[in-house]
Structure 1
């Protein structure tokens, strides 16, 4: 599809140039709000420049990796843009991860610095020696209200607000960047479940921002929108849509640190005449069941985007009935920065992930990677400027998903109708999606296999009305299952949404002739 020249985002070639252009254009307008504090674009730019100066003073060099392990606080966008200004590569990390999950991501990426919530100090301290981390910046959720004066029990650590203060007196020394420079390693299980860093360049992310803005058109007016941000910024969905797209359009992003607290969520958005929000099924349904949310004035809401998991008809209907706004479902992957398809606002086709974005080509292939004709069902493949540079230090894994000509295999089975709308009908991979979060059976099976008495395990997804899917584990054990003990064991090694909701004891698991566990047979049960 061709590029639409009518709606431009920026003429910048890298995210840092875009950042400075945006802050100059919308200087006095609100940029980010969280926990009752609002920063203008001018204030936000000053904080990021101070932190960038501090980061450079620690000896970090352009191209070094830095981990961000934070919820949706003001500190996240400040740290992200400060790191980019220092020429660093972002490694976004879920703060709910176990020490085991953090260790893998940080050692694999080789991060040398970390910005982390201070409540995670003990957990981080237990794995520091297994990483290359030399600089740690800790922060409290309340730092912009009342900076914490406590000293953390971490070596080489400094408080976030102290780093800002020190950076204010240091030289700026801008770093020269190009679109080809890496901006982020976004970790994903891809099609195999082995956590790999998708290498996203400045050009990848900026291209996707241009593409999304072109699709949204006049529903994203420069400097006029207020977007609610409940989805975590460490996830590629909100990272691109809110931290880049809506930021670059001069929008006011209202960050929600803990969207699970729905009554608290409603209180935080009550002061704002919000015009947009990105979410998913569980959030839409949960909010619409609250009387306090139904009592809000949502007359200004004109854009609701759904992604991360399939949008159900029930969720779309209750959201429109409650707010008066339709939901535009989209689709993407970490490997595509992430947006590939998005339903046009006001012309949504329910059950479809929408039309490919500008400059994005899609095609379907069979199991031998042969192109399929129109009307067929096959694996969806993507080509466009938003497709990653490959997996970090994983050339074989990269080759497994990239076809000749720059096509990325998604692992999703799709159809494309005559109007070009794409629909996902199945998953080639064994991926489970719990409330928009990817869960890979291999990882959970590996953890279950470490539990004393468990001989083998197989994990599949089970449909769930609230979360889309839940994790179900079939277990072959030497003795009767102690479900509570097994879940406690998993809690120490896995983030909450990966823990099996149900464990079923079986005498044997279904297997192929070569001994491979047949998850599809278990799913069929």
Structure 2
């Protein structure tokens, strides 16, 4: 008989518990720090990561992250200080992220592709006191450096953590490929910070489950960027939930070291939890890919690494790979599970991926506010389901109408979530936190979904105006606010339109104030003020905006133009 309140529990694979209390107790960890330090002590000789063909052991990662933690302690930051990390998938990200947590500080993940304006907002809002940034993006901070937003900036180059080979990589990037724009702000080099920490004594602070681990920034339905406050207990719970859920697949390898592909940016919560932390928890090998957008280079990387077991990705990445003839040379005979997240996976893409790799894509769903995984298909599916799967252990999902009442199976409504992975709230935004929570403690996701009688969840749509470009959420209000400041723009409105590769793209409609305003001027302005995925792909000029009787622009009418 189906459980009327939690129907998905009757369809869990054998051996997966409904709750995680016992698993959390057996873990014996009181923080994320305990989790990765346990792996350090258990696997000191085992390879923890590989980057550009150079390996680093768990023992080395232990020492380097502790040295970095010690360096941060020399800065005399206040307890719970925020440390911003603006790095791609290089070893320095793991060293800095783990070191920050070991020093009992809070990690603020920053998208390396952000513009100066976007970086400034996040640094101001979080109150970050230190920034770790890749030299390639240092010019972004240089433009706002005179505002002295942080006490200390630590600059690193791509090859800083891989020895002699790294020095060659850095030389080529600077002087051959000229990939480093000029910058001049005061800073300390990453390796110098490590050296400083090495010569000081580390004082291990007490870190508890209720301490803040991450401020994970996300967009809100109003377009205001907010920091989701993730406690150590939130992220730790989600690691355990994912580990239990994937166990039917992972257990096939017994004691063999698992190999995790880390191609998605670890500053994104999906890759952070499902790749970095789960990989460390399992004593796995993390294969770091700094730039998966270089599809030719990425395919060659995959050809050279046939031993991958866990392949997390997003639809745009899968689509780009399988539509290259060279991908036919990729053989992944040990692949256990492909996880699709961040955006909806298209069936055509999933079917071709399955055909070429022999492994179906297990689509999942999550948010920054939920650490992130809420629902996912089981790893033992035999074909792509089209759904986002079932709620994880200890997770309750409800489908609510606009008044907050629960809807019957098969009816579309807002997805609401309760579970140990749900954030503590939004950073310094008590009102926003209140608005996103129901009276009985469910987080309102802003996404529209349907639940089947068996407990499988399907995404129908997002809140009406949100746009998702290659897995990144884009909010029209933010784009409109920026474009409206351009001389010659009287009114503007932004909508999303379907795109074969990216899911959606941004289109802006503009009523001109000055007839000489051109599409090229708008596009150039957006390049200066927005990161790539937020920029409009099309600029459309119209004579008049469709509006309601109270003067509100009706975006839905623009979709019919």
* Fold agreement, TM-score > 0.5: yes
How far off its partner does 1:158 sit? 0.9
- Does 1:15 find its partner at 2:27? no
Indicate the residue corresponding to 2:14 in structure 1: none
TM-score (norm 2): 0.90
Q: 1 CA distance for matches of 2:555 and 2:187?
A: 45
Structure 1 residues 191, 131: closer, same or farther in 2, change over 3 A?
farther
Query: How far has the Cα of 1:520 moved from its partner?
Result: 2.0
Cα distance, 1:237–1:131 mapped onto 2, change above 3 Å: farther
Greater share of helix: 2
Partner of 2:123: 106
User: 1:175 and 1:428 mapped to 2: Cα distance?
Assistant: 42
Does residue 41 (structure 1) correspond to residue 48 (structure 2)? The answer is no
Q: Give the Cα–Cα distance (whole angstroms) in 2 for the partners of residues 206 and 402 of structure 1.
A: 22
Q: Does 1:236 align with 2:269?
A: yes
1:309 aligns with 2:343: yes
| 1:167 Cα offset (Å) | 1.1
| 1:201 maps to 2:231 | yes
* Corresponding residue of 2:202: 172
1:438-493 deviations in Å (ceiling 9; x for gaps): 11111111111111111111111110111111111111113154112211111110
- The equivalent residue for 2:477 is 442
| Pair 1:75-2:92 in alignment | yes
The answer to whether residue 371 in structure 2 is matched with residue 337 in structure 1 is yes
C-alpha distance after superposition, 1:42-101 (max 9, x if no partner): 111111011111111111232000000011111101100000001111110111111000
Does the 8 A contact of 2:238 with 2:372 survive in 1? yes
Aligned to 1:280: 314
3-state SS of 1:282 partner: helix
How far residue 223 of structure 1 moved from its aligned partner, in angstroms, is: 5.6
- Larger deviation, residues 180-189 vs 7-16: 7-16
- Structure 1 residue 321 corresponds to structure 2 residue 355: yes
Residue in 2 that maps onto 1:375: 410
Pairwise CA RMSD of aligned residues? 1.9
Q: Secondary structure at the match of 2:98?
A: helix
1:403 counterpart (438, 445, 457): 438
Distance 2:464 2:30 in 1: 35
* 1:217 pairs with 2:247: yes
Give the match for residue 258 of structure 1: 291
Provide structure 2 residue ranges, at least 5 long, that are not aligned to the other structure.
1-8, 10-17, 175-179
Task: Tell me, in whole angstroms, the C-alpha distance in 1 between the residues paired with 2:256 and 2:78.
Answer: 34
Shift of residue 31, structure 1, vs aligned partner: 1.1
Instruction: Report how far residue 191 of structure 1 moved.
Output: 2.5
Ranges in structure 1 where 5+ consecutive residues have no aligned partner? none
Q: Deviations over 1:286-334 (max 9, x none)?
A: 1112233221221111210001110110110110111111100000111
Measured in 1, the distance between the counterparts of 2:117 and 2:470 equals 22
In 1, distance between residues paired with 2:124 and 2:45? 41
CA contact (8 A) 2:262 2:276 kept: no
Partner in structure 2 of residue 452 of structure 1: 487
Indicate the SS of the match to 1:59.
Answer: coil
- State whether structure 2 residue 526 is matched by structure 1 residue 490: yes
More off after superposition, 117-126 vs 64-73: 117-126
Q: Match for 1:189 among 219, 236, 241?
A: 219
